[in-house]
Structure 1
């Protein structure tokens, strides 16, 4: 793990399976989605008369679309199991076996860690939010320990 913070004692690899997901971002996404949908339903019920049923339904449908986008942001996570690593980001889900995983880095100021793979790809792991500083450092250190224990970095 690359981090500009002072060196810390090594973190042991967690037992598998393990899932890392943000706490604040998830809470904000789902509470916001509920508020948007509830507000749209209330607006559709109490809006002035020139708005007909199709207009009211469109308001609620738009709120549901916004809630879906918020759900995509709230579902992000990083899962590690015996087979490998699954990174669920807002739009895409990536699955890699342990030998394909090279390294994880979280630099100070990064929004989330970056994971390097043997095929040359680097993917951001949105499930570990850099804004949750101590928690993000701990999760990244645990993931780095798993990669060292099971991944390509262990070979050679």
Structure 2
């Protein structure tokens, strides 16, 4: 089973990839969490870099004038 979900940047509250998680997890504004299967711990250093890149993109695209 595979599900695709499209999100607006502002829906993403945080990006998590620590604590031994097998893949990136997004915390959403509605309280849900979403696994990002495209960034997996098994990919090692590349996965770490992609998780950081995603977190940076979320921060850049979800900033409001009050955040600046």
TM range (shorter): 0.7 to 0.9
TM-score, length of structure 1 as denominator length? 0.39
TM-score, length of structure 2 as denominator length? 0.85
Pairing 1:7-86 to 2, within 5 Å after superposition: none
Number of residue equivalences: 65
Partner of 2:58: 147
CA distance in 2, matches of 1:97, 1:126: 18
Q: CA deviation at 1:108?
A: 4.2
Compute the RMSD of aligned alpha carbons: 1.3
CA distance in 1, matches of 2:52, 2:16: 9
Match of 1:123 among 34, 38, 43: 34
Question: Which has a greater percent of helix?
Answer: 1
Q: CA deviation at 1:109?
A: 2.1
Match of 2:43 among 132, 135, 140: 132
